[in-house]
Chains A and B, each alone.
Chain A
């Protein structure tokens, strides 16, 4: 894997036009209980295209709920959620599925690769629900595996890959549909530090290539490497810092 394969022609990339990919305004999410759990308690957040953002917080802070809302796996009780310009509250279940199929990519802590299925087919599954023919899905999966530096592992099954490689397959699966938004939930959580660093490097390279990436993590060291860090605590945004540089 190298940065040159990912951002092969950085000069040719047009200057990114900033437009919001995520817009949250006054978002509340409560879970029933006594007393009710206020998982999100009035969250306002805007993430523009091409950003690499870390959402940081301890467990129980509401960051997983936020991930679910950003990924349209869950709905807000109150407030406005716009993903890629679409008002999620007004979309039906089928339309949300379409949004996930074509505009959002997920990376999970536990990878969630299908056992016994080769890397290329695992990645091709990222396009399964777009209705694309299998041949085309595989072709794009091969390209994407090359992008994440696994060109020599395409026919390996998950149990033949290291943890870091598995997570890169999972990243490729999220990436294969060229999503507007890549959501990574503790992507380094199940990895040793070296593999974790490699995965983070990959996410940085994707960001350099123009992909909008949101990393949810409880790990401040991971967050410290990201250009923008949104700290969340008790369902509220405690701070939103942009590091200089990028």
Chain B
């Protein structure tokens, strides 16, 4: 770098040079000279990026919510139910199968319900027996609630004493369908030809949704009052997280040594996870729509840049006269375009983040915004800015300095 003194300028001059910081400064000055236009054309990009960020953010928050739920509920719950025999007959689990499952060393909790054959539950004894509302009557072991991770919405859960008497705890849906909200022991339901006192109503049970539409009575009461045969219809089992697969393999033969193939073992948390994954198709579609918005925004930026180059012929000429090379001019306009898109991208990312946060807050979801989304948004805007600016910048660089200066 030299600023030769007059008369000392012999020999080839050192090449023109524009420092990277100055390139940035020059590019930014072009935008700050017309702030409204810059903001408006950046807005197009911002909308696209905001849409994409919000879509991914909301979907991630939803997944995070499911994951959080799974963490709270645990993924170590397995259910065992009778399957079908080879000939299609209904099979039953032996009454002692619950105790047998308990003997598997890795098993920490086990409980069960048993379908009470022929019993149905009604609001009172005047109801037409056909109006069962598809509600099931199940005998429940008193350790059921802890094993499935359920909670009581009102009233209480069955204990040793209550389990002996005609008392019932209703699942959330069952209580709603029967129109029961009082659990103070003053309301009864007509169950299996007897009055049973409602002592509690459950919250919805995420890992055992079949309990929501069930009326649960104590195991001894079911046996004595309703003639329940003691055969469990579903066994719920929790084990050490690490031993799940081992337990899963052992369960059929433990429960029914003679016909292990007639035992169906499933993991309810898989269903929840699958439900979360099902959202992804929609997410992809919405993401593509956001991409279209980004593309439209990019066209807006290109349009702005083409106009800027036409309007600023004089400036281009002046810069060439000051010693700018074609590459300097090209970089200036390319930089301006990338900055413009970057401005929109940043605004859009912030906007998308806010939308995600508000959406998550209104649904009581945790806020989740993966870092790769922000990195992707940044990369996408730089790319869009570069593509949108490429042609206008090349055009500016090609402009002969004399034409640029004589146009005024």
A residues lining the B interface (CB < 8 Å): 16-17, 19, 49-50, 64, 68, 71, 73-74, 84-86, 93-95, 97-103, 106, 108, 110, 112, 114-117, 125-134, 140, 173, 176-180, 210-212
For residue B129, CB closer than 8 A to chain A, the reply is no
For residue B33, CB closer than 8 A to chain A, the reply is yes
Give the CA-CA distance A127 to B319 in the complex, in Å: 11
Give the CA-CA distance A94 to B323 in the complex, in Å: 9
8 Å CB interface, B88-115 against A:
none
A126 and B322 within 8 A (CB): yes
For A73, list chain B residues within 8 Å (CB): 317, 320-321, 400-402, 405
For A134, list chain B residues within 8 Å (CB): 21-22, 25
A94 and B1 within 8 A (CB): no
A129 and B16 within 8 A (CB): yes
For B26, list chain A residues within 8 Å (CB): 128
Give the CA-CA distance A131 to B15 in the complex, in Å: 9
For B259, list chain A residues within 8 Å (CB): none
Please name 19 pairs of A and B residues whose Cβ atoms are closer than 8 Å in the assembled complex, sorted by A: A97-B320, A97-B324, A97-B328, A100-B323, A102-B3, A103-B9, A108-B405, A110-B408, A112-B318, A115-B33, A125-B322, A128-B22, A128-B26, A129-B16, A129-B324, A130-B16, A133-B19, A134-B22, A180-B7
B6 and A180 within 8 A (CB): yes
8 Å CB interface, B368-408 against A:
400-402, 405-406, 408
- Known pairs A73-B405, A100-B321; A132 contacts B10 (CB<8 A): no
How near does chain A come to B332, taking the closest CB pair, in angstroms?
11
B405 and A101 within 8 A (CB): no
For A117, list chain B residues within 8 Å (CB): 29
How near does chain B come to A184, taking the closest CB pair, in angstroms?
12
For B406, list chain A residues within 8 Å (CB): 64
- Known pairs A93-B326, A102-B323; A178 contacts B4 (CB<8 A): yes
8 Å CB interface, B285-343 against A:
314-315, 317-328
Give the CA-CA distance A207 to B3 in the complex, in Å: 18
For residue B131, CB closer than 8 A to chain A, the reply is no
B18 and A128 within 8 A (CB): yes
For residue B14, CB closer than 8 A to chain A, the reply is yes
How near does chain A come to B224, taking the closest CB pair, in angstroms?
93
Most buried by B among A71, A114, A126, A128: A128
For B317, list chain A residues within 8 Å (CB): 73
Which one, B7, B14, B321, B325, contacts A71 given CB within 8 A?
B321
Q: Which A residue's beta carbon lies closest to that of B7?
A: A49
Top 3 nearest A-B pairs (CB, nearest first) are: A101-B323, A131-B17, A129-B323
For residue B2, CB closer than 8 A to chain A, the reply is yes
Q: Which B residue's beta carbon lies closest to that of A95?
A: B12
Give the CA-CA distance A16 to B7 in the complex, in Å: 9
Which one, B12, B314, B320, B400, contacts A100 given CB within 8 A?
B320
For residue B118, CB closer than 8 A to chain A, the reply is no
B22 and A101 within 8 A (CB): no
For A115, list chain B residues within 8 Å (CB): 33
Which one, B25, B323, B405, contacts A130 given CB within 8 A?
B323
A93 and B325 within 8 A (CB): yes
How near does chain A come to B406, taking the closest CB pair, in angstroms?
8
- Known pairs A129-B328, A131-B19; A177 contacts B3 (CB<8 A): yes
For A132, list chain B residues within 8 Å (CB): 1, 3
For residue B363, CB closer than 8 A to chain A, the reply is no
For B11, list chain A residues within 8 Å (CB): 85
Q: Which A residue's beta carbon lies closest to that of B33?
A: A116
B1 and A103 within 8 A (CB): no
For A16, list chain B residues within 8 Å (CB): 7
For A98, list chain B residues within 8 Å (CB): 12-16, 323, 325
Most buried by A among B3, B10, B19, B25: B3
Give the CA-CA distance A86 to B314 in the complex, in Å: 27
How near does chain A come to B4, taking the closest CB pair, in angstroms?
6
Give the CA-CA distance A16 to B5 in the complex, in Å: 13
B7 and A129 within 8 A (CB): no
Give the CA-CA distance A112 to B320 in the complex, in Å: 13
A49 and B33 within 8 A (CB): no
For B17, list chain A residues within 8 Å (CB): 129-131
Give the CA-CA distance A140 to B2 in the complex, in Å: 12
For B320, list chain A residues within 8 Å (CB): 73, 97, 100
How near does chain A come to B27, taking the closest CB pair, in angstroms?
13
Give the CA-CA distance A116 to B31 in the complex, in Å: 13
Give the CA-CA distance A116 to B402 in the complex, in Å: 25
B3 and A210 within 8 A (CB): no
How near does chain B come to A64, taking the closest CB pair, in angstroms?
8
Q: Which B residue's beta carbon lies closest to that of A177?
A: B3
Give the CA-CA distance A71 to B182 in the complex, in Å: 96
- Known pairs A68-B402, A115-B33; A97 contacts B6 (CB<8 A): no
Which one, B2, B5, B13, B29, contacts A99 given CB within 8 A?
B13
Q: Which A residue's beta carbon lies closest to that of B328?
A: A129
How near does chain B come to A29, taking the closest CB pair, in angstroms?
11
For A99, list chain B residues within 8 Å (CB): 13, 323
For A94, list chain B residues within 8 Å (CB): 15-16, 325, 327
B4 and A180 within 8 A (CB): yes
Known pairs A100-B323, A108-B405 / 14 extra A-B pairs, C-beta < 8 Å: A74-B400, A85-B10, A100-B322, A101-B323, A102-B9, A112-B314, A126-B322, A127-B3, A128-B319, A128-B324, A130-B1, A130-B3, A178-B5, A210-B7
Give the CA-CA distance A108 to B2 in the complex, in Å: 24
